[in-house]
Amino acid sequence: MWTTASPVHCLPPLYLMRHGQTFWNAEGRLQGALDSPLTPLGVAQAKTLQQITAHIGGCCVSSPQGRAQQTSQLVFAGRDWTTDNRLSEIGIGGFAGRLLIDVQTSHAAVFKGAPLDWYNHCPNGEGFAALANRCRSFLTDLQGSTLVVTHGITLRMLRLLALGRDPAMIAEGDMGQGIVYYVKDGVCEVLDAA
């Protein structure tokens, strides 16, 4: 099992969002450091995120990856926003660009553990400890209320660290698209379109 340092404390309000659905999401293809554009559903999800967060002030930050930037252009329309490499999706090495079903067949042993444990065992992948370190670094640098567009696994790690929970719980809960995860004072609340 991997371990990390103590959780991040005393964080400002955090609004975590996953990029909209991509064509590769829809076909079950793994992205990691690679990219795919948003589907029409993904564009609609990004517009929903914009509606949910339009009245929320704060620093706006995105992963630099194309699908997150495409989402951010819609979510943060008319607002200033920046990118931060620490918000990139977990690196999955040789699995990037491949169909999940294919790698589950060709690397069956990697998928024998808990539901998301395989992210920690990708050939030439980044692993959870490295992801936790960069997510912790990002959270530690926050100066005030922050709206974040990132990716499924990275969002999961940010949420766990912000809540002060054990990163080994990474598979717990959903990380849906078109939803805002509001984290403040050790509590996570889901904000969705009314």
Q: Is residue 192 part of a domain?
A: no
Q: How many domains does the chain divide into?
A: 1
Q: Is residue 26 part of a domain?
A: yes
> Contact, 20 vs 45, CB < 8 A?
yes
DSSP string over 98-133: SBHHHHHHHTGGGGSSSTTGGGGS-TT---HHHHHH
Catalytic member of 9, 27, 55, 89? 89
Q: Which helix (H) or strand (E) holds 94?
A: none
pLDDT of amino acid 168: 84
Tokens at 128, concatenated: 């959870």
Q: Is residue 30 part of a domain?
A: yes
pLDDT of amino acid 78: 94
- Could you tell me the CATH number of the domain that includes residue 113? 3.40.50.1240
What is the block-wise mean pLDDT of the chain (194 residues), using blocks of 10 residues?
47 97 97 96 98 97 98 97 98 97 96 93 95 96 97 96 90 91 93 77
Q: Is residue 1 part of a domain?
A: no
Q: Is residue 5 part of a domain?
A: no
Catalytic member of 19, 121, 126, 151? 19
Q: Is residue 111 part of a domain?
A: yes
Cα–Cα distance, 167 to 175 (Å, whole number): 15
> Contact, 21 vs 185, CB < 8 A?
no
Q: Is residue 36 part of a domain?
A: yes
pLDDT of amino acid 35: 93
pLDDT of amino acid 8: 54
Catalytic site includes residue 89: yes
Its domain, for residue 175, covers 15-187
Q: Is residue 8 part of a domain?
A: no
Q: What is the reported pTM?
A: 0.93
Cα–Cα distance, 156 to 136 (Å, whole number): 12
Question: How many CA atoms lie within 13 Å of 45's alpha carbon, on the beta-carbon side?
Answer: 21
Catalytic site includes residue 107: no
